[in-house]
Every structure is written in structure tokens, then in C-alpha cells.
Amino acid sequence: MVSTYKEEQKNPSRMFNGSLQKRPAFSIILAILLVAVVMSVVISLSIGQVNIPFQQSFQILVHQLTGYQIHDAGEQLNGMFVDIIWQIRFPRVLLAMITGAGLALCGVVMQASVQNPLADPYILGISSGGVLGATFSIMLGFGAGGILGEFGVASWAFIGALIAAALVLVLASIGEKTSSVKLVLAGTIINAICSASSNFIIYFAKNSEGIRSVSFWTMGSLASAEWDTLPLVTASVVMATAFFLSQSRVMNTMLMGEEAAITLGVNLNFYRRLYMVISSVVTGVLVSTCGIIGFVGLIIPHIVRGVVGADHKRLVPASILSGSLFMMWTDVFARTVIPNGELPIGIVTSLLGAPVFMYMLIKKGYRFGGR
């Protein structure tokens, strides 16, 4: 796994050569992605269980955002439509956009940090830690009594995720130097322990209803999106994005391996930990808001890599935008595919994402560290 870039290590200079000559092409790709994200927000707003004409939903959006009325003063905006667009769909579309961006970003960072194509945002045991926290709270009734107020379960999920990540980091650094292999293995161990503990609690739980609530955490859902939940998620993802956009050089070095990094004078160990702490916090926030949405953080970076190459200068922004796009449209699918019902988005992301990835894999010339 780790030796995928043996070849690149031999000639690091060749590694990003190909991509540097495509700069104009890349800015076009980025522009297209940006426009697509904005368009998707507007379009996906008008899609849902209730049939609201595109024109109406656009009018409502403009009116709510700017106070400007583009419709005739004579006709009134339908109150129910305003409610659905502004209170239900818009927060949800925004949450999808932010969650997708956050997951894709954390995926890129984790893949670089542990130098492993199988890494995703949850690799440090964050997912199972979050589920364990949520399960603990749901089943044992913590949070119901307001230890941490109204967001008891979410807070517990966040705490669980962070404790798991911290344990992984500690476990990996015991003894000799932290290595990427040790991190992955430590993550696997903590994942196993947390999943088993959750299952233990679930198996001996006294209410079946609680179990159904737990399944929400394991399959992920954006149904709980509300205006109140957005600021925290937005702030953490935006700050992480700003930070990692400036870190492309270090991440490129990471992929070349330890020796190259030492040669280039980059303290890999320090950066690796820093990145992991930051992306753990972001992922923890995401998990506590919408449960575990699998596959996005694993697959989006790979797909984007296949298009723009492995240079993180391009990979990070392109992944963030693609993650947003992907998440918004999978959520549209999740909330419209069952008439009047909902499908957990975690199911949809894997079902739609896997075939795309399969195609990328079969396509010749795709390599994790590749050009």
C-alpha cells in the first residue's frame, strides 16, 4: 500500500511536471466547478417532494436573500412554498454543500497524511467513536436530561469522535516514531473496539426505538438540517479550508515519503499530527451534525485526482467543490427517490459513488500518487 509511490520517490522532480503545463486548463475547470456549485444550489432548491415550480423557488430565494421582489407586486408568494424553500430545503442544501466540502477536504488530507489510498476522514476511528458517543447518549439517556443542553446526542457524538481520534494518535506514537502504517493499524483497532462497544450497548438496550435512532448515526442523514445547526459546521469547514489551501507544498512532500521530506527539510511528524487534529475536529463536527456519510471522503479525492492530477495545489480546491456538488445531488436523490419519504444519504453516496470509482479504477493509468 505505502509503496505505491516507490517510483515517484526515485524521481520526485518528474512527479508534478505534467500538471504544471495545464494551468490555464485548470482555472477553467475550477471556474466550471464554481458555477456548477452555485447553479446546483439554486436548482436543487426547487426539487423535492412538493412540486414547486423553478421560477417560484428562484423568486422566493432572491426575495428572502435580498428583500427584492422580482415577481409582480400583485401576486403574493405562496406562504407554504416560502416555508418549505426557506426553512426546510435551503438549510439542507447548504448543509449538503458544506458537508460534502468538508468530507472531501478531510479525505484529501488524511490520504496525504497516512500515505494510503484507502484513507478516508473516518480512518482514525472517528466514525465508530462518534457512533459510540451517540449510542451511549441515546441508550443511557445522557443528553436527554440536558447535561449538555438540547444537543446532547450531537455533543456526545462529537466527544466520542475526538476521544477516539486522540486514542489513535496516542496509540500510534507509543514506542518508536509514528509511522503512517502504525496510524492506520491503530485506527483499525480503535474502530473495532468502538464498534463492539456500541453493539454491546445496543444489544442490551432496553428500548427498540433507541436502536432505530442509532441507525441514523450509522447511515447518515441531512434531514435534521436547520438554520441553527449551520453556523458551527460552516465555521469549522471554512476555517479548515482556508488553512489547507495554504498547505499544498507540505502535502505534496508527504506523498513523496519520509526520506524525501527530510531532504526537503519538512518536519513530517509535526505536520502529520497537526493535520490529523484539525481534520479530526472538522470530521467530528460533521459526524455530530449528520451522522456518518461514508464513501464521499474516500472517493471524491480519487476521482478528482484522476482529472487534475496529484498536485495538492489543484487537488484541494477541486476536491472541495466536487465534494459539494456530489453531496448536493446525492441528497436531492435521497429526498426524492421514495415518494413522500426519505432514504438515508449514506446509502445513496455509496450506491452512486462506487460505480464511478470502479470506472476510474479500470481506466488505465490511474495511480494514487500518479500524474
Partner 1 sequence: MLKKTTSILLAIIFCLTALTACSQPSTKENGDSNQVSASQTSPTQQAGYYPLKFTVYDDKGNEVQQTVPEEPKRVVVIGQGLAELMIHFGEKEKIVGLAYLDKSYSKYEEQVEQLPLLTDTWPSKESVIALKPDLIVAMSSAFTDERLGDISFWNKRGIPVLPGINYTMGRTIDSFFDDINNLGVVLNMKDKTDAFVEDQKARIKGIQDKASRATNKPRVLLFAGGQNDTYYYYGPSLCVIDEMVEGAGGEYIEVSQDTYVEMSAESILSINPDKMIVTEFQKSDSNAAEHLLFENSSLKNVTAIKKGNVMVVDYTNAIRGSLDLADLYEDVAEFVHPELFKEG
3-class DSSP assignment, residue 267: coil
**Span interacting with partner 1, options 127-135, 253-261, 275-283, 333-341, rule CB under 8 A:** 333-341
x/- letters, 197..216, toward partner 1 (CB under 8 A): -------xxxxxx--xx--x
Looking at the Cβ atoms of 231 and 341, the one nearer to partner 1 is 341
Give every CB contact of residue 279 below 8 A, 6+ residues apart in sequence: 105, 106, 109, 110, 113, 121, 240
Under rule CB under 8 A, residue 228 binds partner 1? no
Which residue lies nearer to partner 1 by CB, 188 or 207?
A: 207
Interaction of residue 144 with partner 1, rule CB under 8 A: yes
Single out the segment in contact with partner 1 by CB under 8 A; choices: 48-56, 121-129, 174-182, 264-272: 48-56
Alpha carbon 193 to its chain's center: 23
- Our CB check for partner 1 shows the closer of 258 and 342 to be 342
Nearer to partner 1, 17 or 78 (CB): 78
Q: How far is the CB of 330 from partner 1 (least distance, A)?
A: 16
Encoded one letter per residue, x for contact with partner 1 by CB under 8 A and - for no contact, window 154-183 reads ------------------------------
Please work out, in degrees rounded to the nearest 5, the angle formed at the alpha carbon of residue 11 by the alpha carbons of 7 and 16: 95
| List 223, 232, 245, 277, residue binding partner 1 (CB under 8 A) | 223
Q: Which amino acid is at 13?
A: S
Closest to partner 1 by CB, 112 vs 131, is 131
**Residue 337 CB, nearest approach to partner 1 (Å):** 11
CB 32 within 8 A of CB 56: no
Among residues 113, 369, 81, the alpha carbon closest in space to that of 244 is found at 113
Site for partner 1 in 72-91 (CB under 8 A): 80, 83-84, 88-89
Place of cell 497537526: 274
Q: Identity (one letter) of the amino acid at 187?
A: G
> Coil, strand, or helix at residue 242?
helix
> By the 8 A CB rule, do 94 and 40 touch?
no
10 Å CB burial of residue 110 (0-12, 13-18, 19+) is buried
Instruction: Tell me the number of residues near partner 1 by CB under 8 A.
Output: 28
Q: Which of 339, 355, 362, 364 forms a contact with partner 1 (CB under 8 A)? A: 339
Orientation of helix 23-45 relative to helix 296-308, angle to 10°: 140
Give 261 or 343: the residue with its C-beta nearer to partner 1: 343
Query: What contacts 148, CB < 8 A, 6 or more positions away?
Result: 155, 156
Instruction: Specify the stretch interacting with partner 1 by CB under 8 A; choose among 62-70, 159-167, 311-319, 339-347.
Output: 339-347
CB closer to partner 1 out of 136 and 271: 136
Element (H, E) at 285: helix 268-290
Site string (291-320) toward partner 1, x via CB under 8 A? x-----------------------------
- Helices marked H in 67-179: 79-83, 90-113, 126-140, 152-173
Taking CB under 8 A as the criterion, the residue among 149, 231, 341, 365 binding partner 1 is 341
What is the Cα–Cα distance from 130 to 164, expressed in whole angstroms?
Answer: 8
CB of 341 to partner 1, least distance (A): 4
Angstrom distance (rounded) from CA 27 to CA 69: 35
**Residue 340 engages partner 1 in binding (rule: CB under 8 A):** yes
- Residue 259 C-beta-side C-alpha neighbours within 13 Å: 8
**Which positions from 244 to 283 touch partner 1 by CB under 8 A, shown as an x/- string?**
----------------------------------------
Comparing CA positions, the residue from 213, 188, 190, 191 lying closest to residue 136 is 213
Identity at 89, one-letter amino acid code:
R
- List contacts with partner 1 (CB under 8 A): 48-50, 80, 83-84, 88-89, 144, 204-209, 212-213, 216, 221, 223-224, 291, 335, 338-342
